[in-house]
Amino acid sequence: MSTKTITLGPSQLALEEPMYFRVQTEGEIVAGLDVMAGHVHRGMEHLVMKRNLYQNITLLERLCSLCSNSHPSTFCTAVEEIAAIRIPPRAEYLRTIADEIKRISSHLFNCAVIAHITGRGPLFKQAMEIREIMQDTKESIYGNRMDLAANCIGGVRCDLTPESAGYLAKQMELMKAPLDELFRVYTTDPAIRERSEGVGVLSRQDAAGYAVVGPVARASGIGYDVRKKSPYGAYDRLSFTTVVEQAGDVMARIMVRLREAREAVSIIDQCLADLPDGPVWADTLPEIPAGEAIAKSEAPRGELVYYLNTDGTDMPVRLKWRVPSYMNWDALKTMLHGEHVADIPLIVNSIDPCISCTDR
Amino acid sequence: MMEAQENIAAALGRWTGEEVAVAWRLDRKGVATGWCRLRDAANILPAARAMANLEGRLSMVTAYLPTAAPRTGIREIAYHFDLDGATLTIGIQLPAEGAQVPSITPVFRNADWNEREFMELYDIRVTGHPDPRRLFLDESIEPAAFERLIPYSTFSNGASGKALWERVMADNARKETP
């Protein structure tokens, strides 16, 4: 059998962003993998130390488009922790709503990409059309389809009027039946099932060893969700299920994302029903003292961690964050081992990789 | 939770041979963060083993230069571990010059990228790392990029698609020239 090394990337694999893969193959089978990152490295951890805490809200939102709300909201939580700022209850619910809106869009985008890779054009179109309801929702409420600019230190910038809350509730109604239908189609479509069941398997033990997070971990039987384990925002007062699958294959990761999108609709419904009255940001902000804090959130791709160290000025001494994709890349070594070369794009995209987040 | 917190401090003490005091903070939702510092930086390896023994997960590693570093000559690394939702940060101090720390990648494989990343950003040598290659920065850039003046476009690899493409084409042209 012929053994050779092929390089894939930077702009193949159905990704818009560049990532190089060096793949060892034996015939048509993957025998080894090396992931080479850094092609969109923008030195953002350097840039955040040259800007003050307020400017960084804007910069961090531009780190990545799909989880753009998770970055500023988690960063603001870290600042609030250091300065003992209590954000108003209404702001906690509004942050939760923004995060869940982004989660639905992000998950549907990934499921659409999976349909595209498996050659199911009509299903790609169907998933993207349903996602368009969410894009319209973001545009109508926040004025933007990707970066919501919803967060500020001490709360949120964007309140919901009775009219916009009613609009959001109607949009969520529009999502329910199509999401249920989408789950049915993905889990019964013969072409999708053939390409995704038993493909790209990551066992529970390997998932723990690689320290993967988010839907990748939950599809391998690890029931870890930051919203439950380390609640923030309004999640401690909401009822929702941590979606877990056991198979650890591409199909399991699709199922986790589609079920989580449906859970997110229910979370937004609950937030709208329970939305407290009152202000949406803290009235006066104290000086940000010297200190350090950890803040975590469940971004669409999994656990996002921020560490902030301050010295009493408004410039961070150190601001560091770790995105969920950071560990998920490594797990591809196991997921791809023994699989067909032709399945590499599918398996790579099944971890819903975020390259701009990884490289920073 | 109190008992678990005491167990964590005791486990760190047993594995490192140091008396480790962990300061725990609870936020308004009851989420715990613990903070401690090791006297001997080399003890981060046994401390990592203690965390693995408690079924902890390495969340992140943050190397940084405190504001006072130019005066004190001390740099720091914070290792953040997840313990079922609680986060324990173990800090170590290293000299600004000639800093050296053992790799914890043999204990937590996801330390691999974290250590490779801080090796290229800061002047810290990691001993025992199984694969100490550059992670993000090109080999042509001097190490410890956060500690020296480098044009920003160089530091960020000048990584527009065009710049990258031109380099690939230039490399190819060199290889094809007999």
Domains of chain A by start residue, with CATH: 2-359 (1.10.645.10)
Q: Is the pLDDT of residue B129 over 60?
A: yes
Torsion of CA B44, B48, B53, B58, to 10 degrees: 150
Only one residue has tokens 């015939």, namely A27
Nearest CA in chain B to A40: B159
Average pLDDT, chain B: 88
Helices of type H across chain A: 44-47, 53-61, 70-83, 89-117, 121-142, 162-188, 190-196, 204-210, 214-218, 226-229, 250-274, 325-336, 344-350, 355-359
Strand B124-127 to B99-102 pairing: parallel
Assess A28–B contact: CB distance below 8 Å, yes or no.
no
Can you give the pLDDT at residue A11?
A: 67
Q: Which of A200-209, B98-107, B114-123, B137-146 has the lowest mean pLDDT?
A: B137-146
d(C-alpha B1, C-alpha A80), whole Å:
24
Q: Which of A319-328, B17-26, B129-138, B150-159 has the lowest mean pLDDT?
A: B150-159
Nearest CA in chain B to A322: B60
Residues of chain A with Cβ-Cβ distance to B67 below 8 Å are 311, 317
Can you give the pLDDT at residue B137?
A: 83
d(C-alpha A30, C-alpha A292), whole Å:
44
Can you give the pLDDT at residue A86?
A: 92
Strand A20-26 to A29-36 pairing: antiparallel
Can you give the pLDDT at residue B158?
A: 53
Q: Is the pLDDT of residue B107 over 90?
A: yes
Other beta carbons within 10 Å of A73: 29
Q: Is the pLDDT of residue B160 over 80?
A: no
Q: Mind listing the pLDDT tens digit of every residue in chain A (360 residues)?
A: 678 888 777 665 666 677 778 888 888 899 888 888 877 787 888 889 989 999 999 999 998 888 899 999 999 999 999 999 999 999 999 999 999 999 999 999 999 999 999 989 999 999 999 999 999 999 999 998 888 989 999 999 989 999 999 999 999 999 999 999 999 999 999 989 999 999 999 999 999 999 999 999 999 999 999 999 999 999 999 999 999 999 999 999 999 999 999 999 999 999 999 999 999 998 888 999 999 999 999 999 999 999 999 999 999 999 999 999 999 888 999 999 999 988 988 999 999 888 778 878
Assess A322–B contact: CB distance below 8 Å, yes or no.
yes
Q: What residue ranges do the domains of chain B occupy?
A: 2-173
Other beta carbons within 10 Å of A17: 18
Can you give the pLDDT at residue A236?
A: 95
- The answer to whether the CB of A152 falls within 8 A of the CB of A281 is yes
Q: ω before A178 within 30° of 0 (cis)? A: no
Do the chains contact at A307 and B57, CB–CB below 8 Å? Answer: no
Does the domain at B2-173 match CATH 3.30.460.80? Answer given as: yes
d(C-alpha B172, C-alpha A69), whole Å:
41
d(C-alpha B145, C-alpha A38), whole Å:
14
Assess A230–B contact: CB distance below 8 Å, yes or no.
yes
Cα angle value A254/A258/A264 (rounded, 5°):
145
Which of residues B177 and A219 earns the better pLDDT score? A219
- The answer to whether the CB of A83 falls within 8 A of the CB of A75 is no
Do the chains contact at A230 and B157, CB–CB below 8 Å? Answer: no
Can you give the pLDDT at residue B161?
A: 57
Residues of chain A with Cβ-Cβ distance to B34 below 8 Å are none
**Please, how many CA atoms are within 13 Å of residue B88, restricted to the half-sphere of its CB?**
30
Can you give the pLDDT at residue A172?
A: 97
Nearest CA in chain B to A77: B27
What Rg, from alpha-carbon coordinates, does chain B have?
20
Assess A93–B contact: CB distance below 8 Å, yes or no.
no
Overall average pLDDT of the B6-25 stretch: 91
- Tokens representing A231 are 């609640």
- The answer to whether the CB of B166 falls within 8 A of the CB of A49 is no
Do the chains contact at B27 and A318, CB–CB below 8 Å? Answer: no
Other beta carbons within 10 Å of B48: 25
Contacts of B112 (CB under 8 A, 6+ apart): A330, B105, B129, B130, B131
Can you give the pLDDT at residue B79?
A: 97
Q: Residue A318: which of B59, B62, B108 has the nearest Cβ?
A: B62
Which tens digits make up the pLDDT trace of B45-75?
Answer: 999 999 999 999 999 999 999 988 889 999 9
- Tokens representing A321 are 């964050």
- The answer to whether the CB of A321 falls within 8 A of the CB of A306 is yes
